[in-house]
Amino acid sequence: MASGAKSLWMMPHSSKPAPSLKLSSFRDLFVFTRRAFGLVWTTSRPLAYAFCFFTLLAGCLPGVLAFVGKLLVDGVVTAQLQHNPDPAMKYVLLEAAAVMALALVQRAISVVQALLRAQLGYRVNEMILAKALSLDLRHFEDSEFYDKLSQARRQASMRPLSLVNRTFDVLQQMIILLTYGTLLWAFSPWAVLLLVLAGLPTFWVEARFSSEAFQLFNWRSPETRRQMYLEHLIANDDYAKEIKLFGLGPLFLERYRNIFHEAYGLDRRLALRRAAWTYLWGMLGTCALYGAYLWIVKATVEGHLSLGEMTMYLVVFKQGQQAVTSSLASIGGMYEDNLYLSNLYDFLEIPVETPGEGASQGPEPGQGLRFEAVSFAYPGSQEPALREVSFHLRPGQKLALVGENGSGKTTIVKLLSRLYRPTSGAIFLDGLDLQQWDEVALRRRIGVIFQDFVRYQFIVGENIGVGDVSGLDDEARWKDAAEKGQAQEVIEGLPQGYNTQLGRWFKGGRELSGGQWQKVALSRAFMRQGADLLVLDEPTSAVDPKAEVQIFEHFRDVTQNQMAILISHRFSTVRMADEILVLDKGKVTEFGSHEQLLELDGHYSHLFRLQAAGYR
């Protein structure tokens, strides 16, 4: 089916190959069906049982109705002959009762479906989010990963229930068909065969177009993400300022429009072709239906069937054909759901390294942090971001990293916080390779504030509390950390103090200036009371120079026994560090104290004089 489906539509960009279809055989249809059932079963057993029970009932009742219909017509004929309406009346009541029962069962099924939809939608989304949390940073730097994530999020949350619904629908239609088939068999086995065969062409067309729609969906994923990104840019407060000033709005909207129109063109083509083919093949089924009508009517006229039997066969044939079409459409739908679920499971099964039991202590406590010939290249990048970097930081020492943009300062921080693994060389904390540390123990020892820290739209206190989840709600610790991070003054000036909502998304939110935000972020570092290494990656670039000097003097005082690594472009701050490491294109070019480096009269002293001259 894959190759056939591919040839059915033209690809607008020849540079992009259509993804190959994974499900190719009929057996594959059921690969994910079992898992979808497992999902429903583990989500709610009572609902799963109820769904099953009502489906069985809904399958049996139409056969009962058709049979009661026959009894009724024959009853009327007999009643006319005998001039006694009672037997006929009895069947009217019986049919009314059966119709009411069927309506009740159908209502019950839709309630169960609605409840399951809510629970399953939530559950699958939760699975997707939990998976996203378990992935490494490198995954988030890969565009294919985003495609998988967005495919899973956009479609997959509805698909498991849809698959289960359809499976039950097939089951229900099968029961209906079985009862109808039994009734019709008495008329002619050929009629039963005709009933089934007439539905097959529509089924085939549906399945074929399902797989085509799926390929289109997958192939278009990057475009859809681009569209979502444009939406995000246009409708988000963070970007509003720049978009207005640069007049980017109409341009972005135009791009958004173009993506839509290209996608719409393909969708329309597919929808029209799908409708035309389904209609044509559907007509074939209608011809079969009326052929059978002719046959039944003729048999009745010739006296082989009673009027009641004729009515029953006509109903059975007409509704039986609907049941065939409907169950085959459901099977086609199951095929489609399976395709989409393959996306979901592709995403959920992205392999992650589960960290083994790590150590929570090193063999040489008090050794500090040691980089030994560490080199690193980002995934997919040829150029190394760090080349053979070595240094040793002892407890209580403060180290400053200096270098131009892109020289590798932040990369050092990412490596020592184990967000990435060195390509070669090793990093030791207390004499133990970072990779062998237990994740939780390591995170407890190191506190990092990145320059692009997150501005959470939570209350101020929580914005500090996130520095240590165990103290997220601990007001006393917020205050202590805010004092150390010099954010206290800012926070006390806010209307509700530590309980002031930040950001503009939620009611009563206040916005802080860049420098004020940095003080809040800096306070996060001080939530890590137990950390023996604090890393501050340009956390004070937006704070005025005088305040920055104060902050770092204070920082020295409160972190006397802790190691610290600072990144700053201000030499007034850098010179306070015990050691300074100068980086150029990922290589260490100079290392020593401020005085030593000035004496060396190299790059550092050149930059220092340049900046000092600027301030004069």
**Residue ranges binding ligand ADP (CB under 6 A):** 141, 378, 381, 385, 403, 405-411
Residue 379 or 545 having the CB closest to ligand ADP: 379
Side-chain half-sphere CA neighbours of 434 within 13 A: 23
Shortest Cβ 129–ligand ADP spacing (Å): 23
Shortest Cβ 406–ligand ADP spacing (Å): 4
457 and 508 Cβ atoms separated by less than 8 Å:
no
Shortest Cβ 421–ligand ADP spacing (Å): 14
Shortest Cβ 112–ligand ADP spacing (Å): 47
Residue 273 or 587 having the CB closest to ligand ADP: 587
Residue 411 or 568 having the CB closest to ligand ADP: 411
Shortest Cβ 510–ligand ADP spacing (Å): 31
Question: How many Å apart are CA 33 and CA 49, to the nearest integer?
Answer: 17
Shortest Cβ 52–ligand ADP spacing (Å): 50
Shortest Cβ 378–ligand ADP spacing (Å): 3
End-to-end CA distance of the chain: 76
**Beta-sheet pairing, 369-376 with 579-584:** unpaired
Residue 162 or 410 having the CB closest to ligand ADP: 410
Shortest Cβ 218–ligand ADP spacing (Å): 26
331 and 198 Cβ atoms separated by less than 8 Å:
no
Alpha-carbon dihedral sign for residues 428, 430, 435, 439: negative
Residue with tokens 């207005």: 244
Ramachandran assignment for 53, one of left (phi > 0), alpha (psi -120 to 50 degrees), beta (any other): alpha
Q: What is the dihedral of CA 16, 17, 18, 22, to 10 degrees?
A: -140
Residue 404 or 553 having the CB closest to ligand ADP: 404
Ramachandran assignment for 395, one of left (phi > 0), alpha (psi -120 to 50 degrees), beta (any other): beta
Residue 403 or 539 having the CB closest to ligand ADP: 403
Residue 319 or 407 having the CB closest to ligand ADP: 407
Question: How many Å apart are CA 280 and CA 282, to the nearest integer?
Answer: 5
Residue 212 or 579 having the CB closest to ligand ADP: 579
The residue count of the chain comes to 616
**Beta-sheet pairing, 432-433 with 424-429:** antiparallel
Identify which of 251, 259, 249, 250 has the alpha carbon closest to the alpha carbon of residue 228.
259
547 and 516 Cβ atoms separated by less than 8 Å:
no
Question: How many Å apart are CA 614 and CA 423, to the nearest integer?
Answer: 39
Residue 409 or 418 having the CB closest to ligand ADP: 409
Shortest Cβ 162–ligand ADP spacing (Å): 38
Residue 206 or 538 having the CB closest to ligand ADP: 538
Question: Which run of H or of E encompasses 516?
Answer: helix 514-525
Question: How many Å apart are CA 208 and CA 226, to the nearest integer?
Answer: 28
Identify which of 312, 336, 330 has the alpha carbon closest to the alpha carbon of residue 208.
336
Shortest Cβ 451–ligand ADP spacing (Å): 8
